[in-house]
Amino acid sequence: MLDLFGQAILDFYTQNNPQPLLTETSISEEDEMDVAYLFRTFKNMPKIEQKALQLAKGKILDIGAGAGCHALYLQQKGMEVTALDQSAHAIEACRLQNIQSCVQCSVLDYKPETQFDTLLLLMNGTGIFGKLNQTATYLQKLKSLLCPGGQILIDSSDLIYMFDEDEDGGRWIPDTGYYGELEFTLHYKGQKEQFPWLYLDYNTLQNAALANGFHCELVAEGKNYDYLARLTV
């Protein structure tokens, strides 16, 4: 793992010769990501992220914390929050912002001493699942991290809008598996990194949640077919 995403975050925060971070997927062309946006304040967050932070309670685990904007906001509100990310560079950026509890680890390998009341997975939280057939593995791991009565707040998008629509309202989707399974590519400082990234439409997430012992609730919907869901046991 080259950790180009984390390197771009840390370079930007420390002003260590930051350069454009280029992203592309198997269904979209190359585009430049605004790394500054990853450090956004609450007022600049999408409505579904704001809603998730308003619903967060108790002991909170921010999974895939990235640049730490969600964890930092919650900490500033006096809440007990841990920022978790497998990126060493991203976690270093979180520490430099004085986020008090930071852990560099994959969520599948994470073995905390206590459980959590709220698990946050934002900025397409289902992305870390990678592939549709890994969804159950991740949901079962997330369940093990929850206190009784705890909640998972997770967002994603239905990418159906990315595919051409015919005159009857149908969509032309390649017959190569689930349409939300993408190959994500990053380019940064002359290096390239690829990894699978999963977008789940709400019905698919709901079905997977029910199959793994969760109740799934659609909390909010945003622009571009994105949504926030709450999973409880």
What's the pLDDT score for residue 48? 97
Asked whether residue 208 is assigned to any structural domain, the reply reads yes
Asked if 180 and 201 touch (Cβ cutoff 8 Å), the reply is: yes
Q: Which helix (H) or strand (E) holds 75?
A: helix 69-76
Residue 223, pLDDT score = 81
Local confidence band at 37 (pLDDT 50, 70, 90 cut-offs): very high
Bridge partners (DSSP) listed for residue 183: 196
Minimum mean pLDDT among 56-70, 159-173, 215-229: which range? 159-173
Q: How confident is the model at residue 81 (pLDDT cuts 50, 70, 90)?
A: very high
Domain assignment present for residue 170? The answer is no
Return the C-alpha torsion angle 15, 61, 122, 144, nearest 10: 140
Predicted pLDDT of residue 128? 97
Residue 45 and residue 69 in contact, taking contact as beta carbons nearer than 8 Å: yes
- Judge whether residue 132 has pLDDT over 90: yes
Residue 231, pLDDT > 90, answer yes
The SS3 of residue 144 is helix
- The answer to the question of residue 191 being in a domain is yes
Whether the predicted pLDDT of 103 surpasses 90: yes
pLDDT tens figures, 112-129: 999 999 999 999 999 999
Rounded to the nearest angstrom, the gap between the alpha carbon of residue 33 and the centroid of all alpha carbons in its chain is 16
Average pLDDT over residues 205-216: 98
Q: Is residue 165 one of the residues assigned to a domain?
A: no
Where residue 137 falls among pLDDT bands split at 50, 70, 90?
very high
Residue ranges making up the domain that contains 108 = 4-160+176-232
Is 166 a domain residue? no
Query: What residue type is assigned to position 227 of the chain?
Result: Y
pLDDT, average across residues 70-76: 98
Q: Say what the pLDDT of residue 168 is.
A: 62
Q: What is the pLDDT of residues 144-179, one digit of tens each?
A: 999 999 999 999 999 987 766 666 655 566 667 899
In a domain, 59, yes or no: yes
Number of domains observed in the structure of the chain? 1
Q: What is the CATH number of the domain that holds 128?
A: 3.40.50.150
- Are the beta carbons of 229 and 219 closer than 8 angstroms? yes
The pLDDT value given to residue 224: 79
The predicted pLDDT at position 170 comes to 59
d(CA 208, CA 229): 13
Burial of 32 from C-beta contacts in 10 A (0-12 / 13-18 / 19+): exposed
The answer to whether position 131 is within a domain reads yes
In a domain, 167, yes or no: no
Q: Are 61 and 152 a contacting pair, CB within 8 Å?
A: no
Q: Looking at the predicted structure, is the pLDDT value of residue 180 above 80?
A: yes
Please state the pTM of the whole predicted model.
Answer: 0.95
